[in-house]
Amino acid sequence: AVIERTRAVEPQVRAFNSRDEEDALAQAARSDARRAAGQVLGPLDGIPIGLKDVIAVRDQPLTASSRMLANFVSPYDATVAERLKNAGAVLWGRLNLDEFAMGSSTENSATQTTHNPWDLTRVPGGSSGGSAAAVAAGEAIAALGSDTGGSIRQPAALCGVVGLKPSYGLVSRYGLIAFASSLDQIGPFTRSVEDAALLLQAIAGHDERDSTSFKTAIPDYRAALFGAGETLGQRSPASSGGAANAALAPAGALCAGRRLGVPKEYFGEGIDPEVAAAVEAAIAFYREQGCEIVEVSLPHTRYCLDVYYVLATAEASSNLARYDGIRYGHRAQGARDIIDLYFKSRAEGFGEEVKRRIILGTYVLSSGYYDAYYLRAQKVRRLVTQDFLKAYEQVDALITPTVPAPAFEIGAKADPLALYLCDIYTIGANLAGLPAISLPCGFTSSGLPIGLQLIGQAFAEADLLKIAHAYE
């Protein structure tokens, strides 16, 4: 069914960089055989899951939507790919992104532009735009993306699906093409919070092959959704925009006693009035369900973008140094000597935005500037983190919009600085390493999805998912 659906809509949506129907059907046949033989099935047995084209799957293309890796095929599985396979999933297709995950609209892809399934003239968001669009359009049951400054939550919001960025260190980055290693996390795109819990269950947990992976017990995330005394027997479609579960439980029962913080800095100028209204309505819903709503302040929010663009570009310039035209990836023809080969291969292989970031990152790391930019940004990052920790002395989680505005027209935000502003509400959680989820919270008058963000405490995914599930 997913293959048929993809054949029908993919010419308009263009979410996939590549896909292999035969291979997917072979994986599905193996799942059927397991079932027929009465074997114990995995929690995701036979479920087609798409992967952002920065997550390695053995013997599948791995392009990062870059000319640099146009012909690269991965020789090994990322840890998350291995774990999905162990859970029985069918790994279906390679999903488009902004080149090396740098962008907020998927327009920086060297492969193609992905279209928002809700309005094909608009962007799906980014950088994991292919993952969000594929799940929204029914071309995959779920997908994985990566989030460095918002790349799961922002496209999830713009495409009306659920997107979860886990705590830094919860999910192994082994086999993820690195963008900014101290910020990158892999997470799921799904149609419901319950599905997000199932996917997280499959991919979370310590991995020796990622030195930043955290040793922590992994709870049963799905069981946590249906906590003590609640009988939420069914779930609503993710697009219902809330309240459906409320009908199944007595008023005030869904999250009684929880305290949700509303950071006042997240409702300032620049927010679209329809987005603000939808998020206010969601806050009112939580209040009706017995949550205490508390205004909090994250005073260093205004530095988040600046800090992010120093740290992320610095780390990217270092991570992308490996693409030298020698070891793997694009190699230019006709170079005079090895230095010329480096220059030509990188000039031809990388797109404009990637080059801009490498130049900026090299600059902030250069001797004489390191203290003034990189080191200073690290210090401000600490202040940003302390803002969150202070807020969590008062509240259990934070509630904010995911993005200031709904999806924009393809080509409308050509100015890179205007595009950087899309991440204003999502970057804080990356800088502080916190889990955060975007949920569909209604539509604009022109029918574009709006996203609500919940930011949780470090490694408190079970709690975050439970609060999110109450809204669904």
**Residues interacting with ligand GLN, by CB under 6 A?**
101-104, 127, 147-151, 179, 312, 423
Judged by beta carbon, residue 103 or residue 351, the one nearer ligand GLN is: 103
Judged by beta carbon, residue 454 or residue 462, the one nearer ligand GLN is: 454
Phi, psi for 348 (deg, rounded to 5): -80, -35
CB of 353 to ligand GLN, least distance (A): 8
How many other β-carbons are positioned within 10 Å of the β-carbon of residue 267?
Answer: 17
Pull the structure tokens for residue 74.
Answer: 């991965």
Judge whether 85 counts as a catalytic residue: no
Active-site hit among 65, 105, 109, 127: 127
Judged by beta carbon, residue 141 or residue 159, the one nearer ligand GLN is: 159
Judged by beta carbon, residue 392 or residue 408, the one nearer ligand GLN is: 408
Could you give the CA distance from residue 173 to residue 171 in angstroms, rounded to a whole number? 6
Cβ burial of 316 (10 Å; 0-12, 13-18, 19+) is buried
CB of 427 to ligand GLN, least distance (A): 8
Active-site hit among 52, 344, 413, 466: 52
Q: Which regions of 26-133 does DSSP assign to beta strands (E)?
A: 48-52, 90-95
CB of 153 to ligand GLN, least distance (A): 9
Active-site hit among 104, 151, 167, 345: 151
CB of 158 to ligand GLN, least distance (A): 12
SS3 of 183, please?
Answer: coil
CB of 459 to ligand GLN, least distance (A): 20
Place of tokens 């790919």: 81
Could you give the CA distance from residue 185 to residue 170 in angstroms, rounded to a whole number? 8
Judge whether 151 counts as a catalytic residue: yes
SS3 of 294, please?
Answer: strand
Judged by beta carbon, residue 21 or residue 409, the one nearer ligand GLN is: 409
For residues 332-369, b (16+ Cβ closer than 10 Å) or e, as one string?
Answer: beeeeeeeebbebbbeebbbebbeebbebbbebbeeee
Residue numbers annotated as active site: 52, 127, 151
